[in-house]
Amino acid sequence: MASTTQNVQFDAKKALETVSEQFQTFQILNEEGEVVNEAAMPNLSNEELQELMRRMVYTRILDQRSISLNRQGRLGFYAPTAGQEASQLASQFALEKEDFILPGYRDVPQMIWHGLPLHQAFLFSRGHYQGNQIPEGVNLVSPQIIIGAQYVQTAGVALGMKKNGSKSVAVTYTGDGGTSQGDFYEGINFAGAFKAPAIFIVQNNRFAISTPVEKQSAVQALAQKAVAAGIPGIQVDGMDPLAVYVAVRDARLCAINGEGPTLIETLTYRYGPHTMAGDDPTRYRTSELDNEWEKKDPLVRFRKFLEKKGLWSEEKENEVIESAKDDIKEAIKKADAAPKQKVTDLMSYMFEEMPQNLKEQYEIYQAKESK
């Protein structure tokens, strides 16, 4: 019997458009602090709303002071955070103490609000070993410097949580450039295959150092990359703290209910340079683009929202500012009082079992340090 075949023409462009339509930006507050999505409003108390704003203001001051301390030579490596407060702090605000954060190098604010003492954050910036000694009961690892590597680690931590029957999640962050790394795909694919309780957050601040997102990937939304791993993906207005909070809250519920991981893309912007190590954003960003995103400032937006509800005032904000300055002053003093790091300290904490060649070098430096 003769067989017949049906020719089917595949329209790749239409297929891509169909996928793109599924990734509309989730937003609750517009730039004027007005609620545009009442149905999605989280059930946060007035005190919780005020606390989230307090953390955002405090962190903006911390960023300003950290930049000054870096310029004075009192801090080492520093990646500015201004502009990303909603993305960073509202996401952490949706977590529980038992949840595990695996941060990137710009994610020190989340670490602080998850329990890392401020003076240790300063010591981390200086490269001091005490900055990486996370206190007992604080579920963090040291910030990952290798771009995207934390995604693979997060998949492993989340799988361990699942095997232990833990009702907690592993959360990680990377930038838009991190989604171009192989580790990014390996991490979300592994977690998706095993339905590991992970939340993968991509903070799309539009530039991987100086490379614009449009030159990094052909996708219209980085959240679309979740499709390849068979996991949910959502694009969120990363300058809207309430939208970020809801997205992470819901992703956490899915994770602890056994539904697997979620990829969240937050559309945000860093107002400063990539790091304080000589980056000049004026060489690759226009003043028009900077002005456009300054109008979306998460602090301004949330301040307007709270003021309309009678929950915030200039007096409250000034109290937070002064409190932050006092805390920073004390923390830098405490960091200054830490013992000077020795070569033998670095070698001692690098390996559980020191290799023979390093043992020999260790003895040489130990003898020098004892003189």
CA 230/CA 208 separation, integer angstroms:
26
> How many CA within 13 A on the CB side of residue 141?
16
Catalytic residue among 271, 284, 362, 365: 284
Question: For residue 274, what are its two tokens?
Answer: 């990539």
Confirm whether 60 is a catalytic residue.
no
Angle at 131 between CA 129 and CA 333, to 5 degrees: 110
Confirm whether 284 is a catalytic residue.
yes
CA 87/CA 346 separation, integer angstroms:
34
Catalytic residue among 106, 128, 274, 285: 274
Confirm whether 274 is a catalytic residue.
yes
Residues in Cβ contact with 336 at an 8 Å cutoff, skipping those fewer than 6 apart:
74
AA letter at 198? A
Catalytic residue among 60, 119, 252, 270: 270
Question: For residue 28, what are its two tokens?
Answer: 């609750």
Question: For residue 200, what are its two tokens?
Answer: 């993968």
CA 106/CA 82 separation, integer angstroms:
10
- Residues with catalytic function: 270, 274, 284
